[in-house]
Amino acid sequence: MSTGELKTLLTDYRSPEMKIHSLEREGVLISLKRGLYLISPRISGKPPMPELNANRLYGPSYVSLHYALRRYGLIPEEVYRVTSMTTRHTRQFENPLGVFSYRGVKTDYFSIGLAQREEEGTRFIMATPEKSLCDTILETSYLPSRSVRGLEVFLEEDLRLDMDALKDFDLDVVERCAAVGNKKDLFRNLIILIKKLKK
């Protein structure tokens, strides 16, 4: 909830702003960033949803990169930082719920491969598996840029990606990323690799 929304609920108080600070000190409200609050799970009875909070903290944005790959079961490691892509500047927020990081990309690339997911009656925006992988490739600085084999080694050994899952990837999403994104050579190599695995 924003400060403005809270103030409309606290009009009976002489100073709604002081009441907000009091509720935060008491642990009733959790401050996500300046002007944005979450009702404590012990009050609401609902566990916080990192993906929804990531969408709200800094927008427009969608959850992606290693966090999304892990959510889809494509990589084995636990990921504790909620990683997102945005059309705005690269930013990072730390609050009682964790670390939320955002990487800036071009608008035409941003809009490709997004999915609205719903869990426990709450909706949030997350990259599809294909877009999550493309974003990870885009944001990894040390990748080889010309070798299909080099990309395969990175995916299998460094990222520890479930390579069998690539057989089910929607090539259209990767092709659209290749058309407008940076690292076109790497995206084309990914397309070649996926086609090889689909045979």
Listed in sequence order, the DSSP H helices in the chain are 3-9, 16-25, 41-44, 50-57, 65-71, 107-110, 129-139, 148-153, 171-180, 184-198
Counting beta carbons within 10 angstroms of the beta carbon of residue 135, is it exposed (0 to 12), middle (13 to 18) or buried (19 or more)? buried
Q: 111 lies in a domain?
A: no
Q: 24 lies in a domain?
A: yes
Q: Is the pLDDT of residue 194 over 70?
A: yes
- List the domain range (segments joined by +) for residue 167: 131-198
Q: 80 lies in a domain?
A: no
pLDDT for the residue numbered 151: 94
Q: What's the domain count of the chain?
A: 2
Alpha-carbon distance values, 174 to 45, 114, 193 (Å)? 40, 12, 11
Which of 16 and 193 is assigned the larger pLDDT? 193
- Whole-number mean pLDDT of the chain? 92
Q: 11 lies in a domain?
A: yes
Q: 141 lies in a domain?
A: yes
List, for residues 67-115, the tens digit of each pLDDT value.
999 999 999 999 999 999 999 999 999 999 999 999 999 999 999 999 9
Q: Is the pLDDT of residue 22 over 90?
A: no
Q: 25 lies in a domain?
A: yes
The reported pTM is 0.88
Q: 57 lies in a domain?
A: no
Alpha-carbon distance values, 89 to 10, 120, 142 (Å)? 34, 31, 22
Q: 180 lies in a domain?
A: yes
